[in-house]
Amino acid sequence: MSGLAEQVVALGVIALAQLPQPQDLQASQASGDPDSIHVLVNRQNPLEPVDYSPDDLAEVGVRTSEPEPVYLREEAAEAAEKLFEEASDDGVSLAATSGYRSFESQARLYSARYAEHGVEPTDEFAARPGYSEHQTGLAVDVISIDNPECILGECFHETPEFDWLEDGADDFGFVIRYPEGMEDITGFAYEPWHLRYVGTETAAEVAERDLTLEEYWREPAAPEYDDPEPDPEHLRR
């Protein structure tokens, strides 16, 4: 190959390297920063620090299933209020059951079940402290409040409320975080009631492509924790 040809090839390689890569063309990438709305939290990615708490929590002005208010990070709270308002205008009756949970409250929740049932049933039911999306302040659980047969959420996926969310939650920046049949990727059983805020651009792309966040962000699946037992220092007895 002549020197001129080698230069042309080299310039071509450089030009290709400078082209946008597929992952650069999407709305967001996974973040390890707990303050980012794109933080990835799963069984392989705990929050750092593990006892992280957001500093911009705001009460969500929506109907709740409990007397205690629900809190989310400010941006997510505003989006949730708009979502609930639009749902109500469309005749859909939602209520929030859980939002932000502190490290301590998640530890109490996990520890109580762990003491009674052991590690495997507890891991199926609840995230370990420091591994819960609720601790980010970006996740909210909802129910069909006016449907007494589904008040606890077990058949939420069969309600008009779920149909409405499946079609439109992304318009407000939320995705259904744990889709059906994706347990080997997300590490969690199907939770049609668990909404995660990621912003409208990311949510629209996730919904359009019908992906989990792990798949959308091209991150490894996270079906299992590295450690078979939870950190004993994180348990509350």
CA angle 220, 226, 232 (to 5 degrees): 140
> Residue 59 corresponds to which tokens in the numbers above?
């009460």
Beta-strand ranges (E) seen in 21-74 are: 57-59, 71-73
- Taking CA 50 as the corner, what is the angle to CA 140 and CA 32, rounded to the nearest 5 degrees? 75
Residue 134, helix vs strand vs coil: helix
Q: Are 123 and 188 in contact (CB under 8 A)?
A: no
Q: Give yes or no for a contact between 127 and 47, defined as CB atoms under 8 angstroms apart.
A: no
161 is catalytic: no
CA dihedral 12, 16, 17, 19 (to 10 degrees): 140
86, 161, 180, 191: the catalytic one is 191
* φ, ψ of residue 198 in degrees (nearest 5): -135, 5
> Residues with catalytic annotation?
191
